[in-house]
Every structure is written in C-alpha cells, then in structure tokens.
C-alpha cells in the first residue's frame, strides 16, 4: 500500500509582512528599507479567541514588564480538542513545557497523566495530588538514586534507551514497566529537533526489550519523538512503521508481546508560519496506526507540551532602547527587556519565530530584536528580519504571541542579576 504523506499547505503569513512562508527576499525590499504602507501586524484573532485575549490584555495592562500571561481556559480547550482528536489515546502532559501549578492542577482535574523529567517535577506533581500511577519517568538520562526515588513513591513506568540505564532501572525499580525510545528522522522538518540526543537504533531497541525481560522488568512498549513543532506529518508514518517491525519481530522470534506505543509530542503550535490543524494530524496518524496494526492497535500514549500550552500564553515586553550602528545604518536595533536568558531561548538559531504584535501603526522598517543582557548571544532575530513601525519608541510594549510553552521553564535565574520571568494565570 502506498501511503500519502500529510502535506502542509502553503504557509500563510501571520502578519509582519513576511513573504514565501517566513522568508523575505532581499531583492524585493525597497532601497530605503522602509515600508510605505500601513503595517501588517499579527492579527489577534489568528492566535487567540476574543474573550481569551481580552482577559490576558486586561491583566497585562496592570503589570510591569516583562512577564508572561496565560489563559487557562485556552489550555482546557486545547486539551479537550486533543482528547476529541485522539479518543483512543492516553495523554501524558510533558511537564517541562510549563510546570506551573495552575497548569498541572487544571490538567490533573481533566484526567491527564504526566511525563516527568526529574525528581523535582515529580515532587511538584505528586504534591498537587496526582497519583503515581499517572506518572511516567520519561527522561532516558537519569541517576540510579533518582530512579529509586521514583520507585519508592510508587512510579512503575520508565523510559530507557541504553543498557546501562536499563540495568539501573532493574536494580532500583524492580518489576517495573519499561519502554524503549528509538531514533527517528525528522530533524529537517521540525523547528526544534530532538532525536540526536535521545533514542537508539531499532536493533538495539529489540536487544534492550529482550534484556528487560531477562532482568525481571516488564517489556511494555516503544516510544519515539519526531521533533518539537514537527510540520511533516509523514514523519509519524516512518516512525510507526519502525515500531511495527519491532512489535512483530519480538513476538515471532522471542515471544515478547509489546502492548504500548508512545507517540511522543511534536504537535505544533501556531507561530509565525502556520501549520496543519490538529484534526489533520490526528486523521493521518490514526490512519498510519490502522494500516500497520489494524484491529490489534496497542495502547497509545501521547506526550503533548507545546501544542497544549503555547497558544494560551502571551509574553509582554517593553522597549528599552532603539539605536542604529551607523549614521547610514538601514536597520534599527531594538532592545527589549526580555531575551534568550529570560524566556526566549527557543529563538536560538532563530528556530521558533514568535509573532510580535504592537498596538502602534505607521511606516514599517526592518529591525534586529535583541535582549537586555550583557551577552552578545542575547539576540533573538537578526537574520530573519521582523518589520515594525518606525514610530516605536522607548517604553512602548511588544506582545510576543504563542509563548505559553518553554518560556518560564527556560528562564534563567539571575543572569546579569535579572530575576526569572514572572507569570500570571487568568
């Protein structure tokens, strides 16, 4: 059977006068570098429902920058949409995306389980009343004493991708369920690739699952992660096909019946370049599972983070300084009071392109957007040129849309003395 890969429609611009799906051709720029028209800014309705934006903006108007404001009703809606799209799957929220008690409590009450990366995340989740049966230790890089810490608190589900880690699990968490993470392709089509550091090849995965049985563990399943903000839905097709081979060979050759596939995360949020909607992802992934497993589909786990949280948040910053590097400089440097070390680390390599909104209007000019710290790496966007109104000045606010995920959790503690990014939940 020949499969059709999910195709991303031609990217629509979300404002900021960006052409061709996120790049702007130099040959098309006016020689003055100034746009002689009304600004094309992100449309609020493309990112937030009207009532959600009204709640966030009302609170934002009362706070001093920089800070993140998150609409919890939007998170709840995204969770319900995910459950509706994948009614057969269990959701393990990736706590690292946003570990706020408000987020964990909301998802706890909606029935979510939790993907945990450390003993500190575990303490927070258990402390909020989540039972250990709803926890997976999803980090494949962990100390033996941390495994024991999880085990003593009742956790019985562990990820692994190496023999050394598997043996640690067998000693510190005897009899537990284990699932092996495999390497996947997709680094060219994910905005934030993940697969180089984690996972193992298919042959090793099978060896580990056989060894798990020999060590008294329960060889439970296989996991993968196609990369965060994955645009090519077909990447799940290739990964599920690998998993099918592992399931079949272990059953036929070793008598091991695996029972679970962890599809990881990767479902995208709504940034500057648009993607397919969640329903399209769900329809295609469900078809891949049906083609490979038919009526014998195993238990399915999802580990969403970004797709649940990102579009529920808005980071609010203030312009600290506007300058040029020479009297004839064509670009303004716009320094704001938030940067890579205070929540915007995903602008590293300009990988994630956040929509930047301003309430001002007027002629547009390209800008370099940089943070406030004394570190030359604290530049968010220089190669990819954002266009913002010429009349923006010191003290004006910029609103960074779709910043609910991986901002507060990436924010540094007191680099250059700046405090961690504040966050408010409405």
Q: Which residue intervals of the chain bear CATH 2.40.37.10?
A: 29-69+311-425
State the average pLDDT over residues 37-47.
Answer: 75
Check whether 341 has a pLDDT greater than 90: yes
**Mean pLDDT lowest for which of 18-32, 96-110, 186-200?**
18-32
Write down the pLDDT at residue 13: 32
- Return d(Cα 81, Cα 181) in angstroms, integer: 27
DSSP labels, 373-416 = SS-TT-EEEEEEEEEEETT--TT-EEEEES-SSSSTTT--SSGG
CA-based nearest residue to 331, from 380, 373, 364: 364
Q: What is the pLDDT of residues 388-413, one digit of tens each?
A: 999 999 999 999 999 999 999 988 78
State the average pLDDT over residues 349-369.
Answer: 93
Write down the pLDDT at residue 188: 60
Write down the pLDDT at residue 239: 93
State the average pLDDT over residues 48-65.
Answer: 98
Q: Which fold has domain 72-309?
A: TIM Barrel (3.20.20)
Write down the pLDDT at residue 8: 34
**Mean pLDDT lowest for which of 182-191, 196-205, 251-260, 310-319?**
182-191
Q: What is the pLDDT of residues 169-204, one digit of tens each?
A: 999 999 999 999 999 875 565 554 555 688 899 999
Answer with the residue of higher pLDDT: 10 or 91: 91
Per-residue CA distances from 391 to 30, 39, 322 (Å): 19, 11, 11
State the average pLDDT over residues 364-370.
Answer: 95
* CATH of the domain spanning 29-69+311-425: 2.40.37.10
Q: Which residue intervals of the chain bear CATH 3.20.20.10?
A: 72-309
Check whether 252 has a pLDDT greater than 50: yes
Contact 371, 345 (CB under 8 A): no
State the average pLDDT over residues 23-48.
Answer: 56
Assign 28 a pLDDT band (cuts: 50, 70, 90): very low
């Amino acid at each position: 059977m020949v499969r059709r890969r999910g195709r991303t429609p031609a990217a629509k611009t979300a404002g900021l006068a960006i052409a061709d799906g996120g790049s702007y051709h130099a040959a098309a720029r006016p020689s003055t570098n100034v746009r002689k028209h009304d600004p094309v800014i992100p449309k609020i309705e493309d990112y937030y429902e009207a009532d959600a934006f009204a709640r966030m903006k009302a609170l934002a108007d009362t706070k001093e920058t920089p800070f993140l404001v998150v609409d919890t009703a939007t998170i709840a809606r995204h969770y319900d949409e995910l459950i509706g799209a994948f009614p057969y799957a269990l959701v393990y929220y990736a706590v690292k995306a946003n570990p706020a008690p408000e987020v964990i409590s909301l998802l706890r009450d909606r029935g979510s389980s939790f993907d945990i990366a450390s003993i500190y995340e575990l303490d927070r989740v258990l402390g909020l009343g989540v039972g250990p049966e709803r926890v997976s230790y999803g980090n494949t890089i962990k100390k033996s004493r941390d495994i024991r810490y999880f085990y003593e608190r009742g956790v019985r589900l562990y990820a692994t991708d190496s023999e050394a880690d598997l043996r640690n699990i067998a000693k510190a968490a005897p009899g537990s369920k284990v699932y092996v993470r495999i390497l996947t392709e997709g680094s060219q089509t994910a905005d934030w690739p993940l697969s180089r550091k984690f996972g193992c090849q298919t042959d090793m995965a099978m060896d580990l699952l056989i060894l798990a049985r020999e060590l008294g563990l329960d060889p439970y399943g296989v996991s993968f992660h196609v990369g965060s903000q994955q645009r090519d839905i077909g990447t799940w097709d290739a990964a599920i096909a690998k998993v099918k081979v592992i399931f079949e060979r272990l059953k036929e050759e070793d008598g091991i019946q695996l029972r679970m596939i962890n599809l990881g995360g990767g479902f995208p949020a709504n940034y500057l370049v648009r993607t397919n909607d969640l329903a399209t992802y769900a329809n295609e992934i469900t078809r891949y599972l049906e083609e490979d497993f038919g009526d014998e589909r195993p238990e399915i786990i999802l580990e969403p983070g970004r797709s649940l949280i990102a579009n529920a948040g808005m980071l609010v910053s203030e312009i600290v300084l506007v300058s040029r590097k020479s009297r004839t400089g064509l670009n303004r440097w716009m320094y704001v009071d938030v940067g890579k070390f205070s929540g915007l680390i995903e602008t590293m390599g300009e990988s994630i392109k956040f929509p930047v909104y301003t309430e001002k209007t007027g002629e547009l000019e390209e800008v370099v957007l940089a943070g406030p710290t004394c570190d030359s790496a604290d530049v968010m966007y220089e190669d990819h040129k954002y266009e913002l109104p010429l009349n923006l000045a010191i003290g004006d606010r910029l609103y960074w849309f779709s910043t609910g995920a991986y901002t507060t959790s990436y924010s540094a503690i007191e680099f250059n003395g700046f405090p961690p990014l504040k966050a408010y939940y409405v």
